[in-house]
Chain A
Amino acid sequence: MTKKILPPLVALVVLLALWEVLVRALAVPAFLLPPPSAIAAAFGSDAGLGRALLTTAGAALVGFGLAATLGVLAAIALASSRWVERALYPYTVFLQTVPIVAIAPLLVIWFGPGLRAVAVAALIVAVFPVIANTLAGLRSVDPALRDLFRLYGASRFRTLYKLELPAALPQLVTGLRVASGLAVIGTIVGEFVAGFSDDAGLGIVILSAYRQLKTDVLFAAVVLAALLGLALFAAVDLAGHRLLRRWHPSEKGAP
C-alpha cells in the first residue's frame, strides 16, 4: 500500500515546494499564479467553498444517478431489437456531440435554474458512455447461454435479469467509471450557464472568483472539483470491484 501511495505523494510535495519557491523568487503577481500557501489559505477564507462543494456534489450525484439509470434503461431498450437499435442509436451519439454550453440556456428555460438544470446538464454529458458500454455488454452474451435459457423456457424478462444484465455488468461498470468523471465536468459546465441560484456551486464560485481576479479562490475551487471527480470515480471503482471480484478476470489479483 505505501509503495503505491508514496511515489505520487513525494512527487506532489516536490512540485508544490518548487512552485512556492519559484513564485516567490520571481515575484509573480498573485492574480497570475498564487503560491500554494495562498491557495491553501483560500480554503479557510469566507469564499463559501464548503457549501459550494456540497451543492456541486449534490448536483453531480443526481446527474450521475440519472445517467446510470436512464443509460441502462436506454441500453436495454436498444438491445431489445436490431431494428430499434438501428433506428435510435444514431441519436444517442448526438448526446455525445452536442455542446452542453450551447443547450444549457434551453435547460434553464425548461427546468429552471439551479439544481435541476445543472443535474440534467451532467446527465447529458455523462449518459452516452453508460449507454454504449452497457449495450455492448448486452450484445456480447454467449449465444450458448441464450440457448440454455431458451431450453428451460425462461421468459424474456428473466433472461434479461438473470443472464443479460449480469453478463453485461463488467462493461456497465466500465461505462459508469467513465460517466463518474464526466458527471462532475458536466455539473461544473452546467453551473457556468445554469447555476445562478441561491445555492451557488463550485462553477459559480469559479466564475465570481475569476471576475474579481481572486485567483487563489479559483485554484481552490478547481482543486475541490477535481477531488470531487476523483472521489466519485473511486466510489464507482470500489463498488465495481466488490461486485466483480469473484468472477471477472479484470478483477483478479486487484487490491
Chain B
Amino acid sequence: MATPGAAIGIRARGVRRVFPGAVTALDGVDLDVAPGELVAVLGPSGCGKSTLLRLLAGLDRPDGGTLELEGAAEPGALACVFQDAHLLPWRSVVANVALPLELARVARPERLRRARAAVEEVGLADAALRYPAELSGGMRMRVSLARAVVTRPRLLLLDEPFAALDEITRQRLDDQLRALHADRAMTVVFVTHSIAEAAYLADRALVLSSRPARVVVEHTLDLPRERTSRLRAEARFARELGVLMQGLERSGA
C-alpha cells in the first residue's frame, strides 16, 4: 500500500487490447515500473505505444490481463501530455494551466498561484497572459507540460510530446522534464520514437515489439544521474544508443 503523496508504481501482467476488426494492439504486455522511476518506452510506429499509455491513464480498458497502479485513486494523481499540446484556445496560458485545479474545485486564488508557479517552472512567466494562438509550437508544448504537473501528479504519462519540435527546443524540454522529475516524487513514463531522447532522458528504457506489442527489451541505462548536453558527445552515451538500436532492430522495426 503506497502512502499518499508518494510516487505511483505500475504492475502489468499479460495485458491485451484488441480493437474492433480484430486488430490486436497489445498482447501479453508485462511491465513493472517502480515508484519514482523515469522510464522511456520505444517501439516501431503503430505498434501500440499510445494504446498502452491510454490504458495506464485509465482512458481505455484492457481486454485481458491485469493492470495495477499502486495508490492512484483520486483525480489529479495522474497526468498526461499528448503528442500535441491540446490547449483550450479560448483560455490564456495561466488559465489553461489552472484548468486541472479548477476541475478539482481548488479555490481561485490558490489555483492561480499554483498555475503561475507552474508556468514559471517551464520558463513561460513572460507569456502567462498570452493566448495559445499567439505562442510558438514549443511554447505551447511547455504550457501543456505545466498543465500536467500543476496538480503535482504522482504519475506522469507522456506520448511523444516533443516529437514535432526542432532538436534544440526538444533538448531544452528534455532537460526541463528531468528537472521536474528530480524535484518531486513522481513516476514518469515517456513514449518516444527517438533513441537519443530515450537514452538521454530515462533511467530505464523498454522496447516494444511490432504489433501486437510486447516488452522485448528492458535496459537500465548506465549513465550518471546528472545529464547535460555534453553527455551526448561521450562514448558511453554512444554505447547506450547502440544497445537500444539493436533492441529496436530485434523488435522487428
Residues of chain A having any CB pair with chain B under 8 Å: 142, 144-145, 147-154, 158, 162-163, 166-167, 169, 246-249, 252
Contact = CB atoms under 8 A, between A and B. Distances in A.
A11 to B, nearest CB: 36
Given A166-B88, A246-B133, 9 more contacts: A145-B88, A150-B59, A152-B100, A152-B103, A153-B103, A162-B102, A167-B88, A247-B131, A248-B89
Contacts of A163: 88
Interface residues of B, number: 24
B104 interface: yes
A144 B75 contact: no
Q: SS class of chain A's interface: helix, strand, loop or mixed?
A: helix
B80 A148 contact: yes
B100 A142 contact: no
B90 interface: yes
Contacts, number: 55
Interface string B50-79: 000010011100000000000000011011
A14 to B, nearest CB: 42
A152 B133 contact: no
Most chain A CB atoms below 10 A, which of B57, B75, B84, B88: B88
Contact of A148 (B76, B86, B132): B86
A167 B94 CA distance: 18
Contact of B84 (A144, A150, A169): A144
16 contacts: A142-B86, A147-B54, A147-B57, A147-B82, A148-B80, A148-B99, A151-B57, A151-B58, A151-B75, A151-B78, A152-B75, A153-B104, A158-B103, A247-B90, A247-B131, A249-B133
Most chain B CB atoms below 10 A, which of A142, A158, A246, A249: A246
B131 A154 contact: no
A145 B85 CA distance: 10
B90 A151 contact: no
Nearest to A246: B131
Contacts of A154: 103
A116 B151 CA distance: 52
B141 to A, nearest CB: 14
Contacts of A148: 80, 86, 99
A142 to B, nearest CB: 6
B99 to A, nearest CB: 8
Interface in B102-157: 102-104, 131-133, 151
The 7 closest A-B pairs by CB, nearest first: A153-B75, A152-B103, A247-B89, A144-B86, A154-B103, A247-B90, A246-B131
A142 B82 CA distance: 12
Given A148-B86, A152-B76, A166-B90, A247 B133 contact: yes
Contacts of A145: 86, 88
Contacts of A153: 75, 103-104
A8 to B, nearest CB: 32
A248 B88 CA distance: 11
